[in-house]
Amino acid sequence: MDYFSILTNAGLNKLIKATANNAQIVLTQMGVSDSTQPITQDLTELPSIKHKFSINTITQSESDANVLICEGVISADVGGFYIRRVGIYTDDGILFAVGVVPESYKPLLSEGSSKDITIKFYLQVDNAANITLKVDNNIVLATRSHVADEIKKLDKKFLPVDGTAVDSEKLGNIEASKYALKSDISDGLKIGSYLLWSSESTTPAGFLVCDGRSLNKIEYPELFNVIGYTYGGSEESFNIPNFSDGKFFRSVGGNANALGVVQEDELKSHSHNSYTIKGNHSSLGGNWYGFVSNNMTTPTTEVGGVETRPYNMSVVVLIKAKNVKEPNSGQIDNSIYATEAKAGITKLKNSITGNATDTAVTEKAVKSFLGESFDSSKSSNGYTKLPNGLILQWGITDPQNGFIAKPTMFPIAFTSECFGVWVTLEHSQASATTETVVRGHSTTGFLLTASVGVVTSARWLAIGY
């Protein structure tokens, strides 16, 4: 006899609905039967059922991700029947699948023998992710082999004090304690700290250039908890400090403004006086004598540059925005970052700003990039902006008869140039003949005329950048 398992029609329908609705199917129980009848997909109940019991575990087959292994235990105090058929039940009592298994007798202790029996049911489905297990811990039994397997798994997670890692060959046969875990690696700076950086081409992970940009509170909750709206923003957005205009640091207190408030250039109030001597004088013995008749203030000649500043050198001001663990090469291995040819660690970014080859971007970054690159207005008079800078615009206008120029404005102005405007006329008479002229176009619009009065409207297309 062939041994196999199939989904019932009720189970198949439940799986189809779960897949379509992205819902879960909860399997809870197994049933066994001594029936010898053929099994079919039409079954709604296991024929001649002898016992129902809880499913202990559901695991995926290592060789096929769409094969689930359901395991349950019939305890020693249950028996006195043969097992030839097995069924799987959902949490609402539906017979989800049935199978034929090799015949086995489950004895009772009163018959002179007793044993636990573990039933393994192999179930193939198209989408294993929709199957889950609901466990009642008061009923589920654990076999000795299951407990032993779990202990082995735990043993693998721990090392003796003087032991080496299981994958010590990858670590150069060096004790695992000599290496840092990714979770242990930190740059030591708290979120919100400033960092003076030496390069404009690279920025360390977890830091942002202080350019006054707006951030989302949900994406940067820890930084928001530190600076709040001190540097601007409201509701779901907040700003980081802006040092991109070359301002200096100054601590709070004294004559400084409040934290986050810019203080403009200023010299301390003061004055300068110069004196001009006027009056009589005389010469006596080769010496000159005189007296001051009045004082007069005279402006000095302007000197200096465009600002008052100390001796200085520029740096890039960064702010710590996130705790991103960026290990040194000696802490993990000699090739930290992933490449096209080697697996490894890769940086994640929430924006697309350059041509980096060692950085991956999130769905948010792609969505934001496409949204910005393909800015558009989908209406009868609309436009779309392409990533390469080209702008397509279209619309409907009513031309004036008799070659009277009618101005038509574009929905948005072209930034640099309009390459041309193309027009198609709509007539109220099937045999009408007309002449249209685009008399001129600019980055903001064009002039259109028509020669006869049967034109009802004109549809136009403009291309530029």
The pLDDT of residue 326 is 58
What SS3 state is found at 201?
A: coil
SS3 16: helix
DSSP state letter for 190 = P
Residues of the chain with pLDDT under 70: 1, 126-187, 273-300, 325-346, 354, 356-358, 371-373, 399-405, 427-436, 450-456
Evaluate if pTM is beyond 0.85: no
Which of 15, 235, 286, 274 shows the shortest CA–CA distance to 128?
A: 15
**Phi, psi values for residue 33, rounded to 5°:** -140, 155
Residue 357: predicted pLDDT: 67
7 and 131 Cβ atoms separated by less than 8 Å? no
Helical spans, DSSP H, in 134-191: 144-157
- Supply φ then ψ for residue 69, to 5 degrees: -110, 110
| pLDDT, position 138 | 45
The rounded distance, in Å, linking the Cα atoms of 5 and 11 is 12
- The helix/strand count (H/E) of the chain reads as 4, 26
* 386/345 Cα distance (integer angstroms): 33
Tokens representing 279 are 């009056």
Q: How far is CA 393 from the centre of its chain?
A: 32
Is 357 exposed, middle or buried, given 0-12, 13-18 or 19+ CB atoms closer than 10 A? exposed
Whose tokens are 């058929």? That residue is 85
Residue with tokens 């991700």: 65
Q: Delineate the domains of the chain, giving CATH numbers in brackets.
A: 5-153 (no CATH), 186-252+312-324 (3.90.1340.10), 337-367 (no CATH), 377-464 (2.60.40.3940)
Which pLDDT value is given to residue 137?
46
Q: Is the C-alpha dihedral spanning 232, 235, 240, 244 positive or negative?
A: negative
Q: So what's the pLDDT on residue 344?
A: 59
Residue 306 is given by DSSP the state S
Residue with tokens 């197994």: 30
Exposed / middle / buried, residue 268 (Cβ in 10 Å: 0-12, 13-18, 19+): exposed
